[in-house]
Amino acid sequence: MYPVEVIQALKEALRSIYWYKDDLRLFLLALDLPGNLVIKQGWHDDKEYKVRIVSKILDELLAKGADGLGPMRRIIQAVLDIPSFEHLSQLEGGAAKIQAARRSVEMLRGLVLSHDESFKVRSADRGKDAIKVGNAAKRMNDEIEGLQIRFNELAMVGDPRQRGFLFESFLRDLFTAFDLNPRGSFRIVGEQIDGAFEFQNTQFLLEARWQKERQSAAALDAFSKKVERKLDNTLGLFISLNGYTEDGLEAFRKGRPAIVLMDGEDLALALQGLVDFRELLRRKVRHASQTGDPYLRARDAYG
């Protein structure tokens, strides 16, 4: 819809271009405005002035939102298309009335042109923004697709030390792709990769293991103690590609968790685009906070 300055200028122009209410009524009737918008006005009521009638008509069109935009445009265009105001010359002070009508219409014209030009610029900017968003989404999809290929290739690496080195690089790129701001050094101890990242104004420590064995309560407890020794605004993410022992999970669920757990299936679903990694992490943290259970599988989080 047009801004208020255009509407006010239109009201002034409609008041000025016709001196008599009947002439203004015929002008508006010819525009085929919706319903009985023109007819129902108090044209023959001596207490109703042109400016009040015009305000009622325009206010009702404004209230219609998008449905009132077309009729509003027709009124504006009809006013701007008036070729001459000589019909005012026969009135007392006709020259002044003609000048006032021209001045009000030109004021309207300038505001409309300015608005339309601004609208074109905004539309072009929105188009550019849409292209940027589309390009960013494509880059993101390409990154995730590349990470998925690397993840699958990692499963084929037989040497644990080489796999650990490649897994380190993979995790750093994974966190970067999802804007998790990985920082600090990642160091390798066997197949254990340690690092840190930031999510929702919380600092996370990372422990990730790609081992044949499922991780036990001892491994979880050791990492949890490492996290608890840090500042209060610190949580931990433990990634075990082959999951966790049931006994370990059961023992760990009895405490107050400072860590959340992720497994290889969670990673695979995120890399396939079936779940969003950041949203999955958010759901895991919320679930642990509400239930004390640090291990919410992606399949359970998303049904």
pLDDT in tens, 198-217: 898 898 988 888 888 899 98
Tokens standing for residue 89: 């010359």
- Residue 221's contacts (CB-CB under 8 Å, 6 or more residues apart) are 252
User: Does residue 129 register a pLDDT over 60?
Assistant: no
Distance CA 8, CA 16 (A): 13
Count CB atoms within 10 A of the CB of residue 63. 9
Q: Give me the pLDDT at residue 184, please.
A: 56
Cα angle 185-187-190, degrees, rounded to a multiple of 5: 170
User: Does residue 281 register a pLDDT over 90?
Assistant: yes
User: Does residue 116 register a pLDDT over 80?
Assistant: no
Distance CA 29, CA 38 (A): 6
- Which amino acid, residue 69? L
Name the CA dihedral angle for 91, 97, 102, 105, rounded to a multiple of 10 degrees: -100
Residue in 28, 42, 33, 22 with CA at minimum distance from that of residue 87: 22
pTM of the predicted model over 0.75: no
Domains and CATH numbers, the chain: 4-121 (no CATH), 155-301 (3.40.1350.10)
Tokens standing for residue 120: 């074109």
User: Does residue 35 register a pLDDT over 80?
Assistant: no
Q: Give me the pLDDT at residue 132, please.
A: 63
As a whole-number percent, the residues of the chain with pLDDT over 70 amount to 87
Q: Give me the pLDDT at residue 204, please.
A: 92
| Average pLDDT estimate for 239-260 | 84
What's the mean pLDDT when you consider all of the chain?
83
In angstroms, the first-to-last Cα distance of the chain is: 43
How do the residues of the chain divide into helix, strand and coil, expressed in percent and rounded to 5?
Answer: 60, 10, 30
User: Does residue 191 register a pLDDT over 50?
Assistant: no
Distance CA 62, CA 184 (A): 57
Q: Is residue 177 within 8 Å of 169, Cβ to Cβ? A: no
Alpha helices (H) along 155-198? 160-177
CA 159 from chain centre, in angstroms, equals 45
Q: Give me the pLDDT at residue 297, please.
A: 92
Q: Is residue 4 within 8 Å of 58, Cβ to Cβ? A: no
Q: Give me the pLDDT at residue 282, please.
A: 93
- Which amino acid, residue 67? D
| Average pLDDT estimate for 258-275 | 90
Which of the listed ranges 112-126, 151-165, 176-190, 191-205 does the model predict with the highest average pLDDT?
Answer: 151-165
- Residue 250's contacts (CB-CB under 8 Å, 6 or more residues apart) are none
User: Does residue 174 register a pLDDT over 70?
Assistant: yes
User: Does residue 238 register a pLDDT over 90?
Assistant: yes
Q: 119 phi and psi, to 5 degrees? A: -65, -40
| Average pLDDT estimate for 237-243 | 91
Q: Give me the pLDDT at residue 285, please.
A: 92
Confidence of residue 11 (pLDDT cuts 50, 70, 90): confident
DSSP 214: P
Confidence of residue 20 (pLDDT cuts 50, 70, 90): confident
Confidence of residue 188 (pLDDT cuts 50, 70, 90): very low
